[in-house]
Amino acid sequence: MTRRYSSEVRAEQRRATRQRVLDAARALLLHRGYHGATIEAIAHRAGVSVQTVYNTVGGKAAVLKAVYDTLLAGDDEPIPIMQRPTVRAMHAATDPRTFLALYARLGRELYGRAAPLLPVVLDQGDPEVRAFVTTIETERATGNAAIAELLHDRFGLRPGVTVADAADILWTLTAPELVLRLVQHRGWSLGRYESWLADTMAHALLP
């Protein structure tokens, strides 16, 4: 029992340390950008050693990815977005418009959490950031493809629109650059963006 308790305590300490590192990294990324958020600065702000940053999260690119993933999900739990409550509600939807409205809600939720970091993520002047963007765009395309497949299997698509077409359309309409343009640059509310996204996806994909 003592050994198990000690193991649980160490695991909790590791989680707490990792969270401090991620909190410090997020603050520095938002205020200093990718170049200013050095591993040394992150370690200093978190009150840990540089090696601890590497041990708990990884190098600078891994830190950026971990911060971004945590913001998207709203926590640091190892639960994929596709298993989160809004996506589970999509699986339970009984009509295609509700299905797509929930997908638009998911887009709003993700943007609402990750918006502060998007300017850093979309700044592709650094090779590591470009590689990171390639990674998240690949992940996003995989998620869009799964949604397109599910929409096709459950409700069908507009004649002439293949599953691959639907995946490409969803990938384009849910791009972070698009929501940034509408919300930050054109002054749309998140509610207006969500409604527009739902209607536009339905018009493009449904019979």
Say how far apart CA 163 and CA 149 lie, in whole Å: 6
CATH 1.25.40 holds for 2-59: no
User: What DSSP line would sit under 107-135, residue for residue?
Assistant: HHHHHHHHGGGHHHHT-TTSHHHHHHHHH
Residue-wise pLDDT tens digits, 56-91: 999 988 898 899 888 877 765 655 666 778 888 999
**pLDDT in the model for residue 75:** 62
Residue pair 112/193 in contact by the 8 Å Cβ criterion: no
Where the chain has pLDDT below 50, the residues are none
Domain boundaries, given as residue ranges, for the chain: 2-59, 81-205
**pLDDT in the model for residue 178:** 92
**pLDDT in the model for residue 43:** 95
Residue pair 147/170 in contact by the 8 Å Cβ criterion: yes
**pLDDT in the model for residue 77:** 60
**pLDDT in the model for residue 132:** 82
pTM of the model: 0.79
**pLDDT in the model for residue 109:** 87
Cβ-Cβ contacts under 8 Å for 165 (sequence gap 6 or more): 157
